[in-house]
Structure 1
Amino acid sequence: MKASLYLVLAALFWSGNFVVGQAAVASMTPLDLTFWRWALAAVPLLLLAHFIEKPDWRAVLRRWPVLLLLSALGMSGYTLLLYGALGFTSAVNASLITAANPALIVVMAVVLLGERTTRLGWLGICLGLLGVLIVLTRGELARVFSLSINTGELLMIGAIVVWGFYTIIARRLDVPAIAATAVQVVIATVTLAPFAFAMNVRFPDTAAEGWSLAYIAIFPSLGSYLFWNLALKTTPPGTAGNYLNLMVVFTAIITVLLGTPLTLVQVIGGLLVIAGVLLTGIKGQAKLKVA
Structure 2
Amino acid sequence: MQFVTYLTLVLTMLFWGGTFIAGRALAGEVNPANAAFIRFAIATVALFFLTLLSDGRISIPPRKTWLPLLLLGLTGVFSYNVFFFTGLQYISAGRAALIIALNPLAITIFASLFLKEPLTAKQFGGILLSLTGAVFVISNGHPAEIFSTGFGVGEITLLGCVVSWVAYSLIGRVVLVSLSPLASVFYSSLIGSILLFFPAAYYGLFSNLGHIDAMNWLGLTYLGFFGTALGFSLYYRAIKNIGATRSGVFINLVPLFSILLSWILLGESIKGVVILGGIMLLSGVSITNYFRSRT
Normalising by the residue count of structure 2, what TM-score does the alignment of the two structures yield?
A: 0.80
Judged with a 3 Å threshold, the aligned counterparts in structure 2 of structure 1 residues 286 and 19 are, in CA distance, closer, same or farther, namely farther
Judged with a 3 Å threshold, the aligned counterparts in structure 2 of structure 1 residues 284 and 149 are, in CA distance, closer, same or farther, namely farther
Equivalent position to 2:201, from 187, 192, 197: 197
1:181 corresponds to? 185
Counterpart check, 1:232 vs 2:239: yes
Query: Which segments of 5 or more consecutive residues in structure 2 lack a partner in the other structure?
Result: none
Equivalent position to 1:147, from 127, 146, 150: 150
1:85 touches 1:155 (CA, 8 Å); kept in 2? yes
Query: Which segments of 5 or more consecutive residues in structure 1 lack a partner in the other structure?
Result: none
Q: What is the number of equivalent residue pairs in this alignment?
A: 284
Find the aligned partners of 1:212 and 1:190 in 2 and give their Cα distance.
21
1:160 corresponds to? 162
Find the aligned partners of 1:76 and 1:164 in 2 and give their Cα distance.
14
Find the aligned partners of 2:125 and 2:54 in 1 and give their Cα distance.
43
**Residue 86 of structure 1, CA deviation:** 5.2
**Residue 65 of structure 1, CA deviation:** 0.5
Classify the secondary structure of the residue corresponding to 1:124. Answer: helix
Alpha-carbon displacement from aligned partner over 1:69-93 (angstroms, at most 9, x marks no partner): 0111111222333444556434x66
Q: Identity over the aligned pairs, expressed in percent?
A: 26
**Residue 25 of structure 1, CA deviation:** 2.2
Pairs within 5 Å for 1:71-220: 71-85=73-87, 88-90=91-93, 95=97, 97-130=99-132, 138-140=142-144, 143=147, 147=150, 151=154, 155-173=157-175, 174-201=178-205, 202-203=208-209, 205-220=212-227
Judged with a 3 Å threshold, the aligned counterparts in structure 2 of structure 1 residues 99 and 278 are, in CA distance, closer, same or farther, namely farther
Find the aligned partners of 2:248 and 2:100 in 1 and give their Cα distance.
10
Judged with a 3 Å threshold, the aligned counterparts in structure 2 of structure 1 residues 235 and 124 are, in CA distance, closer, same or farther, namely closer
Find the aligned partners of 1:59 and 1:72 in 2 and give their Cα distance.
17
Alpha-carbon displacement from aligned partner over 1:91-145 (angstroms, at most 9, x marks no partner): x66555544432322111122223332222233344455556665795338946x
1:281 corresponds to? 289
Q: Could you say which structure has the higher helix fraction?
A: 2
Find the aligned partners of 1:254 and 1:77 in 2 and give their Cα distance.
27
Alpha-carbon displacement from aligned partner over 1:136-162 (angstroms, at most 9, x marks no partner): 795338946x625793x6554432332
Alpha-carbon displacement from aligned partner over 1:233-259 (angstroms, at most 9, x marks no partner): 222111111322332332121011111
